[in-house]
Amino acid sequence: MLKIIFHTKQLIKHILAISYFTFRRNSRVSLPLHLYLHETPNLRSFKQNVDRLVRALEMSGYDKEEIREGLTFSFDDGIKSNFEAMEYLCKRDIRSIAFICLGSLREPNRVRKNLKRKAGKSIIEFLSMHEIVKLYNMGVVIAYHTMYHDSVLEWEIQDWERDYDLFINVMSSINVVPTKVWAWPFGNAKHINQTLLNEVNKRGFTSYSALRREKHNSMADLSRLSTSREHVHDHWPWYLWFYFIK
Does residue 116 surpass a pLDDT of 80?
Answer: no
Backbone torsion region of residue 139, taken as left when φ is above 0, otherwise alpha when ψ lies between -120 and 50, otherwise beta = left
The helix/strand/coil state of 76 is: strand
Tens-place pLDDT, residues 69-94: 888 888 889 999 999 999 999 999 99
In angstroms, the CA 73 to CA 147 distance is: 21
Model pLDDT, residue 115: 82
Q: Round the average pLDDT of the chain to a whole number and report it.
A: 76
Does residue 206 surpass a pLDDT of 50?
Answer: yes
Model pLDDT, residue 199: 93
Residue 152 near residue 107, CB atoms below 8 Å: no
3-state helix, strand, coil in the chain (%, to 5): 50, 15, 35
- Lowest-confidence segment of 1-5, 23-27, 195-199, 237-241 by average pLDDT: 237-241
Tens-place pLDDT, residues 32-55: 777 877 777 788 888 888 888 898
Tens-place pLDDT, residues 124-179: 889 999 999 999 999 999 999 999 999 999 999 999 999 999 999 999 999 999 99
Does residue 234 surpass a pLDDT of 50?
Answer: no
- For the chain, give every domain's residue range: 35-244
Whether the model clears a pTM of 0.85, i.e. scores above it, the answer is no
- DSSP tally for the chain: helices H, then strands E: 10, 8
In angstroms, the CA 104 to CA 110 distance is: 8
Model pLDDT, residue 114: 86
Does residue 18 surpass a pLDDT of 70?
Answer: no
Please report, as a single letter, which amino acid is at residue 225: L
Specify the CATH number for 35-244; select among 3.20.20.370, 3.40.50.2300, 3.90.550.10, 2.20.25.650. 3.20.20.370
Name the DSSP class of 193: -
Model pLDDT, residue 171: 95
Model pLDDT, residue 71: 87
Burial 72-97 (b: 16+ CB within 10 A, else e): bbbbbbbbebbbebbbbbbeeebbbb
Please report, as a single letter, which amino acid is at residue 139: G
Name the DSSP class of 32: S
Q: What percent of the chain has pLDDT over 70?
A: 70
